[in-house]
Chains A and B, each alone.
Chain A
């Protein structure tokens, strides 16, 4: 043996190991890829060998190659093989490889469930550890569901090493399998107080991570965390807790008040910067959550700002960075306290570290005011010039635009200045943000009417000098600006000084090198310009000028007609034809300018981006309703559709509509005006100025024209915005002087004088007035726009599923899935394990079939699980019925329990809430009593998710719902006890359900949900096998689809006594027809050991496989269960006889069948007929069907009113078809089957089922 191993490893040493591989790769620098591909071929050879050491070595190398970017998923199965090695060395290699390359869609993962489970329960803590580590990387929803219970057990492992890993991995399990959160949470909470600091830290870690996503569910843990915070010395844990509090405080301001003091103490005392920083951060969060105004808070802010200033001034760049980061948080709520540190922040803009400069930029965003905007932007522009990297420069550019455009250009006093800043920005080399600048230009030009003249002049200059922007290809990003320029010049062409020149510029041949969408805009706006030019020229007496213009268009446009871009081509050819026509008219001396202008008349209004979405659905309009009758039912409509449209639309719907609309619109408009008047952020158009525009759209009426644009403005390539800073300065001084004067003079006179002279600006209450009468057109929103709704919630967020109320007591159904069904197959001790493995390797075929079987069971459990969820969540009985039809349900449905549950709820939740309230109210806050009332309302009470408890005020439901429970704690306790008892009962009940346990289920209408059809009573297929004072057995028999000769008997053993039951042996006297499957090597009369022991009150399920030959007749098998009852002092041997009843039903397997297949089957004529009548059946038809489906494994093919066809198949492939009809209390069942005996027996059994009702 040893020799063989040595021989194996001698072989092995000639294989490359990881080090050789790495060395090889390093030696083949030139042809690395080729070398690696030969290595992969070698690895493939190695993986084919039987020696696990060789395989492990190969997998180890693959892990390395994976890091280099090679896909190794093809070896997934080999990785699983290595994982399942019994040697730790190889196991570790396997798990590492798996953690690096397995993911949710790796299909072999489902083969690992049992292996991982085995490793988790390994006596060697490192096996467990390695499995946990690996699992944390590749856990899937299936694995999480199957292993949740095992991991939860590990959370109480004796070794802290395992405990902490188990605790930590629970987070991943929760994410993948949210149902596990509630059952596992109590234990997780326990671990917060684990004696081992590592475990404690892990628990804090997990809960913090959970709470960060759904903080409101974890508020009740605040006292516990508070205790930990004041007692822990582990900085890592402290940081986590403090961060958690940062997330909790926004929900509960009282918590914040309680926190401030200890946090302030920590800030003063700690030497760890990381802790100090997090404290400051949380204090900031607290301050944000509290309404400011309390005197001691300004002290806290001062403390924070002061500490942050120290951080920012520190030479350590990391601290500087974090200081700025935290500062920006304060900025949002307390801008004043930050603004005093402007110097420091501006200084940071000069830092050589880009991250720090970016942070400082963020801060600047919040620090601008009307006063300093120009100054700050000027400084930023300097940085733009200096900046080297394009990313930073782009960042600067976006920041400048952000700063200026924030809150509807609130801080801009002089839009000319802003336009010139934008124009200056277009000169940036290689920026990506041409588009951004362009959209700003468009936005400003459209929304600020007063600036249009200036903007148009600037844009014309830009167009004239387009070659500067398009000069080299690197600047392609910036040519987007030309899009805006062309559009503005075209749209507002009436303001152009020299439209002809601009038109000429827009039709230059060079334009054809621009991107297509820009050319398209050029062409379109050339047409607009053309219209303007015509209009101007026709006014003159000389008609040749106009004709020359047309000729220019006709000469230049063909270039665009040839464009490869469809849009350009289409527009160009369209316009070309138009111009040709115009030319014809011109030659006949027809005045065309008016008509041409009419083509482009009308104002474009900006529409808010979300406007479309916010249009409210008018009352009475059902968007899902059919507009016409569904076509199938009314074919006649198709024949004369015209009549319908012609008649209906114009005659009545239209006119009525408009009438209503007009009135309604007027009303809405009024309402909106009112709303806007009340909205301080809505920048109103002053009525007077608007009127002026409307009356006289002429150029001279716009005040801006008056500004004598200094010549340099028109010279491209020179910075000009600087002048505005000076101008602005002067203007402000003048204004101040004016103001003084004004105080003496009368107001009215002044105003009339100023209407035209815009430099002086109109007076206002603010210290600085805008240079223009700024008339910002707000973006249009639909009438009656809905208030802003949640536009940006990500429905795919995995953490959403974890938003689970944790204070609600556990329901009985909320158990982690225990792998009860597999108990009989999962070996218990590692010794047996080894054997099993040997056996498996000897007979690979058998193993695979076993796997298949297990897979199937997995599926079964899946189905069951999902069913349970549905029951729980939706309480939709109709659906449940369907479910029952669909799958084999072997889990009892316990509905009456949930009503208990609901009744028990309010006590505990309100108790929790009041606990928290009590703890919080201890906070030394003077205004507590007053505030408490309001807070109580606002405080997110852990909602009683049942929905029955009215959730208005936390104290109320107690009073109303629970009658007298009010404040007497005594009673509450009593109630709790009762509840516990009930729960115990429930647990027992859980396994007791038989056929007829439906008595209590009928009245259990849950949570007030109103059902159309009566709810289904709970059903169970488990029937009593045998019972004595020690033990009770219930069983259910299911056919095995894979194997036509096998059925599986699931037996639930329940220990009824106070003693320990062990060494249970299950034995059956085989008949000729049916045999119990025993492990190989055991005699035909040996019993099967039940693979578990039963402590008092516990039940568990085992499965036994039987082989049957003929399935047409029911059978009974005699059997015995022997077991040892162990007390503290004595142990006795007991036995219990039983009779296993194999009904014919148990050989049927629920198989879905489509109606067409069903019809064919009936037509085939191979089936024998039989029928049965049931009298006195008092139950709804759907109950009846559900019962047949559930107890007799049928599925409904089709149901029409009180008639249904059903189908099932036996394990040996017999088809069984039923036609069930009901009238009054009589049910008739006609049945067809290819095996008459089987059919007869099945019908008898159905009859039996209903006679028992």
Chain B
């Protein structure tokens, strides 16, 4: 079982938090902070597994994380999950790459402004703490189909809103769009991917 999936940036600001077990908001924030402290002080080239989160889990649980440019992707899992499997799930073929496809070169800003979309993508991959789908194409197909539905529902009613949001977004280019997770396609040579 996956107990929680967290995404936060290099400063510990949460970009996505999905808990598959209930905690109250304060505990959630504490967990995020604690996880950030545990993860952020680790060097780049150390292993991606981490034990000893106090708040979440206990002895049976592990943190499995990846660090991309400005973002940490952390999965908190118990012993029924394969460590390497989850690691692959985060990167090779699945989560991050799906984000990359859906947002076209994903960067932190995408995650900041579209948490809901990230949640929707995640929902196609992990459900209730269990891995639902590991096939990236399948995930993308379903996400696209749902987005299409959303668009068709918006119809004429959505047009003005879209116009306004376009105007609002005019300022966006000033924002640094180059916080790109450019090297997203680095494959870990020793980890042959899932077929």
Contacts and interface: CB of A to CB of B under 8 A. Distances in A.
A809 to B, nearest CB: 29
A9 B160 contact: yes
A679 B138 CA distance: 62
Contact of B127 (A53, A103, A133, A235): A133
A336 B174 CA distance: 65
B20 A137 contact: yes
A598 to B, nearest CB: 49
Interface residues of A, number: 84
Interface string B94-137: 00000000000000000011111001100100011111111100
Nearest to A2: B156
A319 B168 contact: no
A212 B80 contact: yes
A314 B190 contact: yes
B84 A318 contact: yes
Interface stretch (B22-30, B68-76, B178-186): B22-30
A12 interface: yes
A356 B133 CA distance: 31
B68 to A, nearest CB: 16
Contacts of A233: 195
Contacts of A320: 47
A317 B169 contact: no
A278 B83 CA distance: 9
B85 A169 contact: no
Contact of B128 (A169, A198, A317): A169
Contact of B49 (A68, A274, A277, A318): A318
Interface in A446-468: none
A484 interface: no
A538 B51 CA distance: 61
A198 B133 contact: yes
Interface string A929-944: 0000000000000000
Given A69-B25, A126-B146, A198 B135 contact: yes
Nearest to A86: B153
B4 to A, nearest CB: 12
Given A66-B25, A322-B83, A356 B47 contact: yes
B17 interface: yes
A45 B132 CA distance: 38
B57 interface: no
B55 interface: no
Contact of B120 (A8, A96, A132, A198): A96
B173 interface: no
Contact of A104 (B22, B119, B161): B22
A92 B115 contact: no
Interface in A53-85: 53, 60, 63-64, 66-71
Contact of A278 (B29, B82, B114): B82
A64 B115 contact: yes
Nearest to A247: B80
Given A9-B158, A87-B153, A356-B47, A236 B131 contact: yes
A63 B118 CA distance: 13
Interface in A1216-1253: none
A1135 B72 CA distance: 70
B170 interface: no
A6 B157 contact: yes
A318 B87 contact: yes
B29 A137 contact: no
Contacts of B158: 9
A18 B112 CA distance: 10
Contacts of B156: 2, 5-6
B140 interface: no
Given A103-B22, A126-B146, A137-B128, A96 B165 contact: no
Contacts of A172: 128
Given A63-B115, A278-B82, A352-B46, A132 B138 contact: no
A986 interface: no
Contact of B84 (A69, A130, A274): A274
B113 to A, nearest CB: 5
A198 B28 CA distance: 31
Contacts of A171: 128, 130
A164 B132 contact: yes
A184 interface: no
Contacts of B132: 164-165, 168, 198, 202
B16 A67 contact: yes
A253 B75 CA distance: 34
B191 A274 contact: yes
Nearest to A197: B135
Contact of B82 (A10, A69, A277): A277
Contacts of A20: 168
Contacts of B45: 317
Interface in A115-135: 124, 126, 129-130, 132-133
A481 to B, nearest CB: 25
A318 B14 contact: no
Contact of A69 (B1, B28, B42, B195): B28
A321 B82 contact: no
A440 interface: no
Given A198-B135, A314-B190, A133 B123 contact: yes
A169 B142 CA distance: 18
Contacts of A17: 161, 165
Contacts of B160: 6, 9-10, 13
B62 to A, nearest CB: 10
Contacts of A12: 161
A9 B161 contact: yes
Interface in A341-376: 352-356, 358
A66 B16 CA distance: 10
A9 to B, nearest CB: 5
Contact of A354 (B46, B150, B164, B190): B46
A169 B123 CA distance: 13
A3 B39 CA distance: 53
A161 interface: yes
A482 interface: no
Contact of A355 (B47, B129, B135): B47
Given A88-B153, A198-B135, A353 B46 contact: yes
A205 B114 CA distance: 30
A166 to B, nearest CB: 10
Contacts of B116: 18, 60, 63-64, 93, 96
A352 B43 contact: yes
Contacts of B49: 318, 321-322, 355
Contacts of A201: 131, 134
B194 A235 contact: yes
Given A168-B127, A239-B85, A274-B83, 20 more contacts: A5-B156, A13-B163, A13-B164, A17-B161, A20-B168, A64-B115, A67-B16, A67-B17, A69-B26, A71-B25, A93-B116, A104-B22, A133-B127, A161-B142, A168-B128, A239-B82, A316-B190, A317-B48, A320-B47, A322-B83
Interface of B: 1, 14, 16-18, 20, 22, 24-26, 28-29, 42-43, 45-51, 80, 82-85, 87-88, 112-116, 119-120, 123, 127-135, 138, 142, 145-146, 149-150, 153-154, 156-158, 160-161, 163-165, 168-169, 188, 190-195
24 contacts: A6-B157, A8-B157, A9-B158, A13-B161, A17-B165, A18-B113, A67-B16, A67-B115, A92-B120, A104-B22, A198-B133, A201-B134, A206-B130, A209-B1, A235-B85, A236-B131, A239-B85, A240-B82, A316-B190, A318-B87, A318-B191, A319-B190, A355-B49, A356-B46
Interface of A: 2, 5-6, 8-10, 12-13, 17-20, 22-23, 26, 53, 60, 63-64, 66-71, 87-89, 92-93, 96, 100, 103-104, 124, 126, 129-130, 132-133, 136-137, 161, 164-165, 168-169, 171-172, 198, 201-202, 205-206, 208-209, 212, 233-236, 239-240, 243, 271-274, 277-278, 314, 316-322, 352-356, 358
- Which 8 A-B pairs rank lowest in CB-CB distance, beginning with the nearest? A136-B128, A274-B84, A317-B47, A103-B22, A353-B46, A13-B164, A69-B29, A321-B47
